[in-house]
Structure 1
């Protein structure tokens, strides 16, 4: 069977260590009894372990060469290999509107976009696991006060509990990436509403972290209508904080404070 050559333009780094592949595949067991959607299976190093589990597995792969390889290597999965761009797909009907686990060895350059899409479909995705660049994993799992705490930390932790599971060295990939990787698991929490306007929340979080070294009384000026502000608006105690110091609840408070004055 002809091997698939990793494509740089697709950010492909094929995992070669079967022991690590099985460990990644087993992360889905924390959310049993529902189907699994694998993103970017490549030559199926995770797929081989996922299909052994007693649940339906589907795989989304944008690379036509990989799709052909998977069809030949996993004939039992042939009807469930989707040749498409995950970022452009409507996930509602993947499993007939039923919840599913998202997993994969995610391309580094689009992992954040994948997780933002996960948030859009959070009611369908109670669990998301997989391998990403270690720096991004640390960012997602980071807590307030840490240097890595940022937009991904706040937006994902608003809806998911995050576990940093283990680190993966560069040497177990073909071709080896220039950075270390990490495996994480995100499990849907009990939050159903934030207690503020969600769109405003996202806008404010992104705005203040884009100027993360500045106090909120400075960074907020880019999104509020200064002429409409109460005279004491910037006297609120939060305004002397920097974004990495704020907890999730404080971001909700900030959103409710600023939302009436957003341009």
Structure 2
């Protein structure tokens, strides 16, 4: 069996260490930090990317670098972005090969073109639960540059992103992500492999950008239609889209008699095409 070595040179046959070593970064609740302690899970997450079609990878929220370690073994250019100053200091000390590639910034507020210019890059990470959906929305804004995205979320969020129509958990994130990416739920991770353990299971997903990811409709209107429809998800589209002030005759179309969770991404595109001539 492959042995894993901890910082003191001993072996950890089960790959898990819950001990808090002196010099380790303490998890901060306000940053949503739960540090992954299972080496085998970290390696498995690093293997979720294909590392083809781009030459850069950005890891969001590396913490103490348990995932970073395995990313650095890949034949690609690794950068990390981390808001926690204590984690940044730890990474500088323990990962000298990342010199010049550790960005002490808030991903949500950063201009990523300052790092990669106009180059294509992948995103990976063990994402803080409290901002994970915001990370996905920012990724969608940057979709022209991101052919691949993978990482760990709260399980129900990961499942929602990958869900298909007809489910109660299918919603805004599901439709918007799947308009541009193939979404795949990969595996579940228990709370026991984190320090501190979260109160819920985690889930790892992979998003692969579609070959043709431009929509045959107005993209801003598409986002608006999807978000407006799901704000009143129990109502039919005839009622939930009232704020768009559409003429009565268009609302006679049978698609307006459906609820948003009944529409696939393709049918939301069709709906947007129907609305487009009348949208203000």
> What is residue 196 of structure 1 aligned with on the other side?
217
Q: Contact 1:31 / 1:127 at 8 angstroms: preserved in 2?
A: no
Contact 2:153–2:203, Cα closer than 8 Å, also in 1:
yes
1:251 and 2:265 matched:
no
1:168-193 residue CA offsets vs partner (Å, 9 max, x unmatched)? 00111111111110110000002232
- Is residue 227 of structure 2 the alignment partner of residue 210 of structure 1? no
**Secondary structure at 1:3 match in 2:** coil
Equivalent of 2:67 in 46, 70, 75: 46
**Partner Cα separation in structure 2 for residue 239 and residue 54 of structure 1:** 50
1:70–1:78 contact (8 Å) kept in structure 2? no
Aligned partner of 1:11 in structure 2 is: 32
Query: TM-score with structure 2 length normalisation?
Result: 0.89
1:61-76 paired onto structure 2 within 5 Å:
61-76=82-97
In the alignment, the residues of structure 1 paired with residue 250 and residue 115 of structure 2 have an alpha-carbon distance, to the nearest angstrom, of 47
Query: Deviations 1:46-87 (Å, cap 9, x if unpaired)?
Result: 001111112110000000000000000101112110000001
Residue 181 of structure 2 is aligned to residue 164 of structure 1: no
Alignment-derived partner of residue 8 in structure 2: none
* Distance in 1 (alpha carbons) for counterparts of 2:202 and 2:52: 23
Once superposed, what is the RMSD of the aligned Cα atoms? Answer: 1.4
Name the SS for the 1:129 alignment partner: strand
- TM-score normalized with structure 1 length: 0.94
The separation in 1 between residues aligned to 2:138 and 2:124, in whole angstroms, is: 13
Partners of 1:151 and 1:39 in 2: CA distance: 23
Q: Tell me the equivalent position of 2:133.
A: 112
Could you say which residue in structure 1 is the equivalent of 2:7?
none
Q: How many pairs are equivalent?
A: 259
- Aligned pairs for 1:178-197 within 5 A: 178-197=199-218
Q: Offset of 1:224 from its aligned partner?
A: 1.6
Please give the secondary structure, in 1, of the residue aligned with 2:244: coil
> Deviation at 1:29?
3.0
* Change in 2 beyond 3 A, CA 1:220/1:32: closer
* Alignment check: 8 A CA contact 1:158 1:191 kept: no
For residue 176 of structure 2, what is the aligned residue in structure 1? 155
Tell me how far apart the structure 1 counterparts of residues 214 and 62 of structure 2 sit (CA, whole Å): 34
After superposition, what is the alpha-carbon deviation per residue over 1:93-135, rounded to whole angstroms, capped at 9, x for unaligned? 3223211110000011111111111111112110001101111
Q: 1:235 to 1:102 in 2, by over 3 A?
A: same
User: Deviation per CA, 1:110-168, whole angstroms, max 9, x where unpaired?
Assistant: 11111111111112110001101111111110011112111001100000001111000
> What are structure 2's unaligned runs of at least 5 residues?
1-21
Instruction: Give how far 1:194 is off.
Output: 1.1
Gaps of 5+ in 1: none
**Separation in structure 1 between the aligned mates of residue 226 and residue 54 of structure 2, nearest angstrom:** 35
What is the CA-CA distance between 1:25 and the residue it aligns to?
0.9
Task: Name whichever structure is richer in helix by fraction.
Answer: 1
1:219 to 236, 240, 260: 240
Shift of 1:21: 0.5
